Amino acid sequence: MKPIVEVNNLSVEYTRGDQKVGAVAGVDLHVGAGEILGLVGESGCGKSTLGKAIVGILQGADGEVNFDGQQVSKIGRGQRDAHFRNLQMIFQDPYGSLNPRRKIGDQIADGPRIGGISKSEALEKAASLLERVGLPRNAVERYPHQFSGGQRQRIAIARALAISPKVIIADEPISALDTSSQAAVANLLVNLVEEFQMGLIFISHDLSIVRRISDRVAVMYLGKIVETGKTEEIWNSPAHPYTKALMSAIPHADGKAFIPLDLPGDVPNPAYPPSGCRFHPRCPLAQGECASREPLHVSLSDGRKVSCILQEAGSAPKTLTF
């Protein structure tokens, strides 16, 4: 499958004081049509920054993002190029992502209207999209405060859908929602990806939801992708100690009173990333050379890629135990 979005060696920096901080440090990613890529990692790992750089909200310091054959550049003051309007983003906070003072219908109609469609046609489209995401058509006449968090997230999805995007980057789209709404919004995204053959990058800190809905997973730690591959394979035999730690830390509602494993220490300050493998200070399997040598991003025999010296290029993933 030919990828629609291809990220090559992308780095994103921001300035804190006089200091340059590398939030994303050389990332490769791709997602194809009808595919869901789960991007997981903990707070401060740079996953949101990466998402924003992919759509062009942030400027990459190095590397490039290709979308459907053209290189993405940062959004400027003028109208965004029609080609890149097919690359959309959905945000975490359903309260901040809709304008509280504008009618739902007008907000959904924005995209088509900028694309040159008449107001009445655009509003008609908005109404049918609202229906598609499970809301009444007459919601076009209402304001965001009349809706719950889950419903607002559906509205935000409808707004992105209004211009028939080819790829959606969803940044923690369900983490701010109630349990009831979480499942429904996740299902909606899965259905839409299949129906419209969109590519979806689903950014989340929650490995259990990512495992359920994504075809492939990329695990990010401190600005770098440490492991990427097919979801089931990673879930069955994590090849990077961080992936394993992340999985082991999830508490399961199985009534077994089992307290999951914690990972000592905190995510280091990205302004001063540890030498060698960035995970080594917290890694239960770290060896002497992890502190000095940065591991290569190698391909294993099952096609996944991992950055850990415990794994050998071309061979099957070694089972990690800790």
Partner 1 sequence: MTLLSVRNLTVTLMTASGPADAVRNLSFDIERGQILGIAGESGSGKTMTALSIMGLLPYKGKASGSINFDGEELVGFKPKDLRRVRGKDVAMIFQDPMTSLHPMLTIETQLTEHLRHHRKVSKGEARARALELLDTVKIPDPKTALKAHPSQFSGGMRQRIAIAMALACQPKLLIADEPTTALDVTVQAGILKLLDELRKSQNLSVIVITHDLGVLSALTNRLMIMYAGAEVESGPTSQVLTRPRHPYTQGLIDALPDSGANGKRLIAIEGMPPELGKFPTGCAFHTRCSFARSECKSGTPNKVDIDGIRRIFCTVDPFDTPAGVNR
Partner 2 sequence: MASRFGNSNSIWRQPLAVVGIIIILFWVFAAIFAPLISPYDPLSQDSDKFLMPGSLHWMGTDELNRDIFSRVIYGARISLPYSILLVVLSAFLGSIIGGISGYFGGRVDAIIMRLTDMFFAFPAIVLAMAVAAALGPEIRNAVIAITIVSWPVYARLVRGLILNAKQNDYVTASSLLGSSSLRTLVVDLRPNLAGPVFVLASLEVGNALLLLSGLSFLGLGAQPPAAEWGSMVSMGAVNFDRWWVGLFPGLAILSAVLAFNFIGDALRDALDPRTAKALRD
Instruction: Please tell me whether residue 96 binds partner 2 under the rule CB under 8 A.
Output: yes
**Cβ-based neighbours of 74, under 8 Å, separated by 6 or more:** 56, 57, 58, 59
The stretch among 95-103, 162-170, 204-212, 292-300 that binds partner 1 (CB under 8 A) is: 204-212
Instruction: Please tell me whether residue 180 binds partner 1 under the rule CB under 8 A.
Output: yes
Count of positions on this chain that bind partner 2 (CB under 8 A): 34
Among 2, 69, 77, 288, binds partner 2 (CB under 8 A): 77
90 neighbors 123 (Cβ within 8 angstroms): no
Contact pattern from residue 93 through residue 132 relative to partner 1, giving x for each residue in contact according to CB under 8 A and a dash for the rest: ----------------------------------------
Pick what 182 binds: partner 1, partner 2, none; C-beta below 5 to 8 Å, kind-dependent. Answer: partner 1
Q: Cα-Cα-Cα-Cα dihedral of 26, 58, 4, 109, to 10°? A: 160
Taking the complex as a whole, the smallest distance from the CB of residue 81 to partner 1 amounts, in Å, to 33
Instruction: Please tell me whether residue 192 binds partner 1 under the rule CB under 8 A.
Output: no
Taking the complex as a whole, the smallest distance from the CB of residue 190 to partner 1 amounts, in Å, to 5
Taking the complex as a whole, the smallest distance from the CB of residue 230 to partner 1 amounts, in Å, to 14
State which residue, 210 or 309, has the beta carbon closest to partner 1.
Answer: 210
Pick what 150 binds: partner 2, partner 1, none; C-beta below 5 to 8 Å, kind-dependent. Answer: partner 1
Instruction: Please tell me whether residue 77 binds partner 1 under the rule CB under 8 A.
Output: no
State which residue, 73 or 248, has the beta carbon closest to partner 2.
Answer: 73
State which residue, 16 or 102, has the beta carbon closest to partner 2.
Answer: 102
The residue behind tokens 């007008």 is 106
133 neighbors 165 (Cβ within 8 angstroms): no
Among 97, 153, 181, 228, binds partner 1 (CB under 8 A): 181
Pick what 260 binds: partner 2, partner 1, none; C-beta below 5 to 8 Å, kind-dependent. Answer: partner 1
The stretch among 48-56, 153-161, 259-267, 289-297 that binds partner 1 (CB under 8 A) is: 259-267
Instruction: List interacting residues with partner 2 (CB under 8 A).
Output: 55-57, 75, 77-80, 82, 85, 87-89, 91, 93, 96-102, 107, 110-111, 114-115, 145-146, 156, 159-160, 162-163
